[in-house]
Structure 1
Amino acid sequence: MPAAPAPAPLLDPVALNLLIDELVEHGYSVRPDFLPRQVIAQLNDELTELETRQQLTAAGIGRGREHDLRPDIRGDAIRWLDRNSRAQRAYLEAMNVLKDELNRALYLGLFEYEAHFAHYPVGSFYKKHLDSFRGRGNRLISSVLYLNEDWPRDGGGEIVLYDPEDDSREIARVTPEAGTFVCFLSEQIPHEVLPTHQARASVTGWFRRNSSQGNLVDPAR
């Protein structure tokens, strides 16, 4: 019997190389249609069900003892990916491929990828911030995958990226259309989510390096 054809790769090699080139040149990359539409639709269905069943948690700012709910700063609700669905496993497999390619090309020493669903209800936003302070965190590259099909032109909810040298200067504004994948340097690119005029769905994640301390390998986030 002839061998079964190999499954199509989750990530297009050309798109991968373009992403890496843009990340090196600009500090960020915006890639439309980065993952298969079926995976996008399944992730969106899963997040919709979680929101309907009220299984999302209000997101806060800070970590550990400094964690606090601040709806005046951030209004999304989240749930961490746990690989408990086919769509999550497919997405995390794709991110593992991306992690390995980033390490191969840029020698970043990325250790793992963590991600959560993010649901922004109507009127919510996330004010300008950095995902990791320079030299203090272990998040190196941030990512956002949008899940909303047919996002209207007046839907709001764009992510805005700012110049690392002048955080008043906008360098990119991205509409949260399904399949668009954004990644940027966590310690360098200030960004915000503008108020959304309809419910906005995404998967937000971070490629992390190992920050060993004492006898703990990659201590608690």
Structure 2
Amino acid sequence: MQVTQLPVHWNIERILDDLDEHGFTLIDAAYSEQYQHAVVGECLQHLQQFRQAAIQNGVVSDIRSDHILWLGPEFTIADQHSQTLLALAQQLNRAFYLGIKDVEAHFACYNAGEFYALHRDNPQGKNGRMISSVYYLHQTWQDDFGGQLRLQDKHGNWHIIQPQPNRIALFQSDLLHEVLPAQQQRLSITAWLRSDHSML
């Protein structure tokens, strides 16, 4: 994966300080409107290819009801986001010695009523996921649309993060979190910064 440069308006010091202090951070107005519009278009273009995330090897889980589509370099617009996260990983490695080597990502769609119950992306260090991220794609959003990220920070305090358009939420993959039921279609790119190489 080609490493790109971080957007110049990202406040890297604040991102690092937030992650160090609380275990999570938010990046608002992450990208240009042109990029946001383009990546939403790419997502919507492939919406028919999404599959139920709850079905793994034919087994249905009741912990989640969203739909996903794993991303690769053929998704040229979304891959720019993955490249940006990989550039951010270099900063995180220098600051926290995380040893991040790769990014895995998928589009996610939460239709009305869909959710993801409380879980950790890397429970007790069982996989290589170090930092989780959610980039919210939809063009407009209102608080009563639901779909919020409910997250417990590293001190045990709970936070409700609104899925505002063009916002990136970054958090430690071992933190407990959930996606509250959506009332409107909610689109995002979920990605993990890994200390091993993705099997995708």
Q: TM-score, normalised by structure 2?
A: 0.89
CA–CA distance in 1 between the matches of 2:79 and 2:188?
A: 16
Of 31, 37, 40 in structure 2, the residue corresponding to residue 35 of structure 1 is: 31
| Identical-residue share of aligned pairs (%) | 34
Unmatched runs of 5 consecutive residues or more in structure 1? 1-8, 211-217
Q: Runs (4+) of structure 1 moved beyond 6 Å?
A: none
- 1:155-194 aligned within 5 A: 155-164=145-154, 166=156, 169-170=157-158, 172-187=159-174, 189-194=175-180
Kept in 1, the 8 Å contact 2:22–2:154? The answer is no
Q: CA deviation at 1:129?
A: 0.5
Give 3-state SS (helix, strand or coil) of 1:154's partner: helix
Determine helix, strand or coil for the equivalent of 1:206: strand
Larger gyration radius, structure 1 or structure 2? 1
Name the residue aligned to 1:81.
71
2:68 is the counterpart of 1:69: no
Say whether residues 1:58 and 2:52 are aligned partners.
yes
- Alignment partners' CA distance in 2, 1:197 and 1:129: 21
Where in structure 2 are there 5+ consecutive unaligned residues?
Answer: none
C-alpha contact 1:132 1:139 (8 A) present in aligned 2: yes
Q: 1:47 aligns to what? A: 43
Query: Residue type of the partner of 2:39?
Result: L
Which deviates the most, 14-23 or 197-206?
14-23
Q: Quick one: which of 192, 195, 219 aligns to 2:181? A: 195
Q: RMSD of aligned C-alpha atoms?
A: 2.2
Flag the structure with more relative contact order, 1 or 2, with Cα contacts below 8 A and sequence separation at least 6: 2
Match of 2:194 among 169, 185, 208: 208
- Is 1:145 the counterpart of 2:169? The answer is no
Q: Give the whole-Å Cα distance in 2 for the aligned partners of 1:92 and 1:196.
A: 25
SS at match of 2:101: strand
Partner residue, 2:17: 21
Matched, 1:134 2:124: yes
Indicate yes or no: 2:111 matched with 1:124.
no
Measure, in 1, the Cα distance between the counterparts of 2:43 and 2:73.
14
> 1:105 offset after TM fit, Å?
2.1
